[in-house]
Structure 1
Amino acid sequence: MAKGKKKSSESKGKKITLKIAKNAVKLTVDGKRRLDLSNMEIATFPKCILKLCDVEELDLSRNFLKDIPESIDRFVNMRWLDLHSNNLEKLPEALGRLQGLHSLNVCNNRLTTHGIPHELGLLRGLRSLNLGMNRIEIVPSSIGALKELRQLRLFNNLLTRMPPWLHSLPNLQTLNIKCNPITPDSPPPLDLNERAECLCVVSEDSLCEECLLKHKEKKGRIDHWINEAPVTRKIIPVRLITPNSVAQQDPAVHR
């Protein structure tokens, strides 16, 4: 019985109080207020943070959230929202009412095509959208209305064809569609440079077991090349990079 109660308690996640939330408000390098509740084992959206809805940035990444309430639209000053690495299966329609939103990151969740509301197309000022590492088969055409979009990440999904509306995004600079089962007959996007994204410098103890193994294999090949290289060869410093958004990172550096 005691074990059952303990398990039930853990499934509810950590409780966030208003005091904890207030202490989690930080200033960004450009003077904006960010409510940082990332990696805190939160399983349920803490309603108390609605009393801090005047912040410009909200970080709820790396938690256990299954849904975001429609009341998210109370954050009227929101310009940056990070929800990556949760258990989200759908996004609230209210996101479309956050007209000041510039960046939205929902990478590494459980989103499907039906979990992306058409209201996202109302975010006319959105510049960065990360939908990577989900279960999306078709990206809603409403995304094609985001004329200010600069960065679009769709990597590691279930896309079989290129979104036909890509050419309607006049300001798109970065597109990442890697690791999708796109069929050979799907034409590539013209005048768009696909670049590897979601890279971050991390320590080895921040990596999952699979990524750590890959890193060690790659590092071994690099060390071998360095040891065998002539003294006169210029050696390029190597940084650890990983597309694993679950790894710890500093959002202020990466947005």
Structure 2
Amino acid sequence: MDGKRRLDLSNMEIATFPKCILKLCDVDELDLSRNQLKKIPDTIDQFVKLRCLDLHSNHLEQIPASIGRLHNLYSLNLCNNHLTTPGLPHELGLLRNLGILNLGMNRIETLSPSMAALKELQELGLFNNLLTHLPKFLQNLPKLQKVNIRSNPIPTDDLEVDHIQRVECLYLVREECLCADCLNMCKKETERLEC
């Protein structure tokens, strides 16, 4: 054992955040993945020792601003939810120790500039979203090694892709490689946002 305390409540068909787990808020890892959660309460900030929070494969549309107070958080998995750009709080930028952030398989069009403060970030998952360009701040994240932007409608001539040369792994799918349905969905979302 490595001395870490892990609470695994994954794949249990949980629809509401169980308040009773607040009594166990001294855990290092909390896994609530593969459930039916639609909301995470503001009280998530009571897990002050939390280093790993896995919320992938739920029905989350937004993340509470209080998540920014989880200063020990190293890994945050929000993949495969219903998150949009407004559903991501600016307070994500307060997670100064965050090394791994997975936002893949959501409905995100752009990232908050506050995320430029994530200087410890090493891996960033943005695949299967609605991104039409890469945020400029990615090139200024000194420890960033892996960025997955696969299956986003980013044009092939996006200059920001060229500026992330030092990244070890940059996953990119050309617009013409997206299926017709995905491309149409992305174009409609882009048009809607430009109105």
Q: Same fold (TM over 0.5)?
A: yes
Identify the residue that residue 89 of structure 1 maps to in structure 2: 61
Q: Number of residues paired by the alignment?
A: 168
Q: Aligned partners of 2:28 and 2:156: how far apart in 1? A: 43
- 1:178 is displaced (CA, Å) by 0.6
Identify the residue that residue 166 of structure 2 maps to in structure 1: 191
Matched, 1:52 2:27: no
Q: Percent identical across equivalent pairs? A: 65
Q: Aligned partners of 1:182 and 1:70: how far apart in 2? A: 34
Q: Secondary structure at the match of 1:134?
A: coil
Identify the residue that residue 143 of structure 1 maps to in structure 2: 115
Q: Aligned partners of 1:143 and 1:168: how far apart in 2? A: 11
- Listed one character per residue, the Cα deviations across residues 123-146 of structure 1 (whole Å, up to 9, x for unaligned) are 101000000000000011111110
Is residue 111–residue 134 contact of structure 1 (8 Å, CA) maintained in 2?
Answer: yes
Q: Aligned partners of 1:87 and 1:30: how far apart in 2? A: 32
Identify the residue that residue 50 of structure 2 maps to in structure 1: 78
Q: Aligned partners of 1:74 and 1:191: how far apart in 2? A: 37
Q: Secondary structure at the match of 1:165?
A: helix
- 1:162 is displaced (CA, Å) by 1.0
Is residue 177–residue 194 contact of structure 1 (8 Å, CA) maintained in 2?
Answer: no
Q: Aligned partners of 2:165 and 2:75: how far apart in 1? A: 25
Q: Aligned partners of 1:155 and 1:193: how far apart in 2? A: 16
What is the TM-score normalised by the length of structure 1? 0.64
What is the TM-score normalised by the length of structure 2? 0.84
Q: Rg: which structure is higher?
A: 1
Paired AA for residue 56 in structure 1: D
Identify the residue that residue 134 of structure 1 maps to in structure 2: 106
Deviates more, 1:147-156 or 1:178-187: 178-187
- 1:193 is displaced (CA, Å) by 3.1
Paired AA for residue 111 in structure 2: V
Q: Aligned partners of 1:170 and 1:183: how far apart in 2? A: 25
Q: Aligned partners of 2:24 and 2:144: how far apart in 1? A: 33
Gaps of 5+ in 1: 1-28, 197-255
Task: Name the Cα RMSD after superposition.
Answer: 1.1
- Bigger relative CO (Cα 8 Å, ≥ 6 apart): 2
